[in-house]
Structure 1
Amino acid sequence: MARVPGPPPLDGLRRHIERSRLAKGASGGHFVRETFCMERQDAREKAREWFDQWPKAAYWTEVESWRALDGDRIEFTMRRLPSAD
């Protein structure tokens, strides 16, 4: 009688994913990210500071995400490639 194989064991895949996540967490991943929550004008100035300090062409700097909160506050995350710092 032929045995029908079940799904393949996933233990090896789980270990590989966990090692990968731990390695990225230790090194900070591929990007440096920082999240801010400030008044709209201050948020614009902070984003300009990032683009001035880490130009988009060299560091792939971008506003990764943002959302408007009550009271004209903006929560946003800036992202860039790490430098030699």
Structure 2
Amino acid sequence: MMFWDDHGMSGWGFGLMTAGMLIFWVLIVLGGVMLFRQLGRVPHHGGAEAEDRSPEDRSPERLLAERFARGEIDTDEYRRRLDMLRSGSGPDDS
């Protein structure tokens, strides 16, 4: 006589097997989504940042303010250059 007891697998065995398969497929789908998003991402380089800006964002005063904010120039240098930009005189007009 043959025994059809699924080799001793109880309700817990079926539950764990189902949970394992669900976790497996969720991980596969999440990995695919992450890969798709990573491949679709446009690389962002420092030089390309300036090209993406509108003309208003690339004004000389804005660039000067960014340099001041980064600490590349001090307060005196910032004010001197800002006054020069607003007066319309260049460095050669002295």
TM-score, normalised with respect to structure 2: 0.28
Report 1 or 2 for greater relative contact order, CA contacts < 8 Å, sequence distance ≥ 6: 1
- Which of the pair is proportionally richer in helix? 2
Which of 1 and 2 has greater Rg? Answer: 2
TM-score, normalised with respect to structure 1: 0.30
- Which of the pair is proportionally richer in strand? 1
